[in-house]
């Protein structure tokens, strides 16, 4: 510690130690904060299967399921000071075929049909939004360090973001499909966490996060398909 | 430093010390690699395709063992595309089937389209062995130095200059 | 001339402090940084504001560097009292170093 350079080095060394210890404490503070996520409703509104191509230049025709749904959920307890964002996603899940199921070989299929990123006020400046939407978001958080009210989701008759298919190209008339709500909490520092199926210490499992079983219908007849796409002008 | 050259025992001790530091770092890296079953258990984020979750320069800790359950939809995974050397960090959005042959599709949170375009020619899905780990831990910003140094080479010159200045201004 | 100038610059850059000052500097750095860490965590947790915690930590650290790094006069209050050149009588000779006696 006799010269300025040595003092600078030693102080910096201790600074890194302190920062890592504080970061570890911040990460651990998540574990002692209770989480009680609840889903009030998760149900399908309208389910249809249409024919389409994977992309414009493809000649392959595949069947796509379009699942409209409604969601009411309270995820506000996930928003603490260490929450950077919560990634909320709805999946459709179904067993491969009834034959495989009987054989005890339940082959699960999972596909995300809708997702959203809920940023915390501390990460609003990072959100991928247009200038107007960003301004609105920043305004909504003015003076707030955290904003758990953003975890209250109420979505009616939502169109899916992703139309899903199966590698075989066939998805019509599939039975036993369910929708499931999932979330992924992204911290500022520490472990990434997902929704749990069991209670863990102070974190409760996601209640009621699954819809009733439903079946995908047969492919929609052409006449009807035309009617729904008329709006796009094609 | 130079004066120690006269004393072979001291020089040898210094060499040993240097070797010890190097081998300790190497052992820790390889030990972590064995523990997580991942060839690269710590990665630095290089692209913004997972924003706002991960920024460039953030450090990710990976885990590549399926103890409680398989790699599932919603997990953020690091994968290598066949014949390409750049690992990519994206989220699994579809999974068809179970076991090592399950077909997985990934997408970056910040990208509008899924990763089919990034995969090798004729490859529509990933399989489990393409994945080198799922992200379990996150430390922000720490890896940014490496990005700065590789993107702004003049910073290396500046650093060398500062080191030279320190040497000039120091007395023996 | 240039040599003298370099020597002066070296003096300023080196920023020597005395032994008591070194002890004090080390203590100050450790206590200050630990306090900054504790305060940053406590304030951040109580107000649930991680940005504030980061600002406190960085600000406090900058302040610590400012206190500890330069050779402030309070680090030089106990200068070493060197013996005068050619001072008091030499102790009887034959100091043994590496089994060779020095004279």
| H or E element at residue C39 | helix C19-47
Chain B residues near residue C10 by CB distance under 8 angstroms: 169-171
Top-confidence residue, B12 or A227: B12
The one catalytic residue in B38, B58, B115, B134 is: B115
Quick one: three-class SS letters along chain B?
CCHHHHCHHHHHHHHHHHHHHHHHHHHHHHHHHHHHCCCCCEEECCCCCCCCCCCCCCEEEEECCCCCCCCCCCCEEEECCCCCCCCEEEEEEEEECCCCCCEEEEECCCCCCCHHHCCCCCCCCECHHHEEEEEEEEECCCCHHHHHHHHCCHHHHHHHHHHHHHHHHCCC
Residue C8 domain flag? no
Nearest CA in chain B to C6: B169
Overall average pLDDT of the A64-78 stretch = 95
Show Cβ contacts of residue B60 under 8 Å, excluding neighbours closer than 6 positions.
Answer: B42, B43, B44, B45, B54, B78, B89, B135, B137, B138
pLDDT score at A233: 38
Chain C: residue nearest B171 by CA?
C10
Query: Where does the pLDDT of residue A228 fall: very low under 50, low under 70, confident under 90, or very high at 90 and above?
Result: very low
Share of chain B above pLDDT 90, in %: 60
Q: Across chain B, what does the average pLDDT equal?
A: 90
Catalytic residue chosen out of the listed positions B38, B49, B58, B134: B49
Containing structural domain, residue C65: 34-76
Identity of the residue in A7, A10, A81 whose CB atom sits nearest the CB atom of C44: A81
CA distances from A227 to A44, A220, A221, A224 (A): 21, 11, 10, 5
The pLDDT of residue B90 is 96
B141 pLDDT higher than 60: yes
The distance of B166 to chain C (nearest Cα, Å) reads 9
Lowest mean pLDDT among A102-111, A118-127, B15-24: A102-111
Per-residue pLDDT, B3: 53
Q: Is residue C93 part of a domain?
A: no
Q: Is residue C48 part of a domain?
A: yes
Mean pLDDT of C19-38: 95
From C36's Cα to the closest Cα of chain A, the distance in A is 9
Q: Provide, rounded to the nearest whole percent, the portion of chain A with pLDDT above 70.
A: 89
Task: Give catalytic status of residue B152 as yes or no.
Answer: no
Predicted pLDDT of residue B5: 59
Q: Say which of B58, B90, B130, B134 is annotated catalytic.
A: B90
Would you list the domain boundaries of chain A?
A: 1-32, 35-232
Mean pLDDT of chain A: 87
Confidence check: pLDDT of A56 > 80: no
Q: What is the CATH number of domain B42-145?
A: 2.10.109.10
Q: Is B107 within 8 Å of B90 (Cβ atoms)?
A: yes
Minimum mean pLDDT range among A7-16, A160-169, A215-224: A215-224
d(C-alpha A145, C-alpha A122), whole Å: 7
Q: Is the pLDDT of residue A231 over 50?
A: no
Q: What is the pLDDT of residues A139-178, one digit of tens each?
A: 888 888 899 999 999 999 999 999 999 988 888 888 889 9
Interchain CB contacts (distance < 8 Å): A and C: 79
Angle at A203 between CA A90 and CA A123, to 5 degrees: 60
Look at residue C57 and tell me if it is in a domain: yes
Whole-number pLDDT of residue B172: 57
B90 is catalytic: yes
pLDDT at A230 over 50: no
The Cα-based distances of A173 to A27, A47, A81, B15, C89 in angstroms read: 46, 11, 46, 72, 109
Q: What is the pLDDT of residues B77-129, one digit of tens each?
A: 999 988 788 899 999 999 998 888 899 999 999 998 899 888 988 888 999 99
**How many domains are there within chain C?**
1
Provide the pLDDT for residue A187: 96
pTM assigned to the model? 0.86
Q: In this predicted structure, what is the pLDDT of residue C21?
A: 92
Torsion A24-A25-A31-A33 (CA) sign: negative
Q: What pLDDT, on a 0 to 100 scale, did the predictor assign at position A47?
A: 93
Q: Which residue of C has its CA nearest to B166?
A: C13
Give the pLDDT score at C91.
61
């Amino acid at each position: 510690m006799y010269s300025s350079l040595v003092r600078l080095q030693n102080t910096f060394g201790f600074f890194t130690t302190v920062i890592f210890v504080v970061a570890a404490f911040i990460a651990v503070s998540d574990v002692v904060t209770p989480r009680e996520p609840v889903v009030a409703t998760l149900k399908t509104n309208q389910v249809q299967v249409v024919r389409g191509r994977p992309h414009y230049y493809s000649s392959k025709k595949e069947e796509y399921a379009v699942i409209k749904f409604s969601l009411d959920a309270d995820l506000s307890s996930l928003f603490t000071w260490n929450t950077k964002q919560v990634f909320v996603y709805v999946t459709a899940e179904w067993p491969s075929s009834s034959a495989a199921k009987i054989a005890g070989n339940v082959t699960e299929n999972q596909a995300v049909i809708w997702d959203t990123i809920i940023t915390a006020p501390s990460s609003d400046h990072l959100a991928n939004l247009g200038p107007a939407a960003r301004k609105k978001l920043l305004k909504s958080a003015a003076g707030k360090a955290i904003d758990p009210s953003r975890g209250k989701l109420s979505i009616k008759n939502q169109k899916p973001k992703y139309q899903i298919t199966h590698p075989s190209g066939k998805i019509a008339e599939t039975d036993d499909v369910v929708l499931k709500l999932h979330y992924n909490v992204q911290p500022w520092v520490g472990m990434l966490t997902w929704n749990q199926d069991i209670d863990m210490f102070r974190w409760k499992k996601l209640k009621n996060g699954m819809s009733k079983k439903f079946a995908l219908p047969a492919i929609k007849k052409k006449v009807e398909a035309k009617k729904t796409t008329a709006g796009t002008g094609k | 430093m130079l004066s120690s050259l006269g004393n072979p025992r001291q020089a040898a001790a210094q060499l040993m010390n240097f070797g010890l530091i190097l081998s300790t770092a190497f052992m820790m890296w390889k030990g972590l690699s064995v523990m997580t079953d991942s060839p690269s258990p710590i990665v630095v984020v290089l692209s913004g395709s997972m924003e706002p979750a991960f920024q460039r320069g953030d450090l990710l800790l990976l885990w590549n063992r399926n103890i409680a359950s398989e790699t599932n939809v919603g997990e953020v995974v690091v994968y290598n595309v066949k014949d390409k050397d750049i690992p990519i960090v994206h989220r699994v959005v579809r999974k068809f089937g179970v076991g090592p042959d399950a077909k997985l599709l990934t997408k970056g949170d910040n990208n509008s389209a899924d990763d089919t375009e990034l995969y090798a020619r004729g490859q529509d899905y990933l399989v489990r062995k393409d994945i080198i780990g799922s992200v379990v831990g996150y430390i922000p910003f720490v890896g940014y130095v490496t990005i700065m140094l590789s993107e702004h080479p003049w910073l290396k010159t500046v650093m060398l200059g500062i080191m030279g200045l320190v040497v000039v201004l120091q007395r023996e | 001339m240039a040599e003298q100038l370099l020597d002066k610059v070296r003096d300023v850059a080196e920023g020597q402090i005395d032994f008591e000052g070194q002890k004090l500097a080390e203590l100050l750095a450790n206590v200050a940084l630990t306090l900054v860490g504790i305060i940053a965590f406590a304030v951040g947790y109580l107000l649930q504001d991680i940005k504030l915690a980061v600002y406190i930590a960085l600000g406090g650290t900058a302040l610590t560097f400012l206190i500890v790094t330069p050779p402030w006069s309070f680090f030089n209050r106990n200068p070493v009292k060197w013996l005068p050149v050619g001072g008091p009588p030499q102790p009887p000779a034959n100091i043994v170093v590496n089994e060779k006696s020095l004279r």
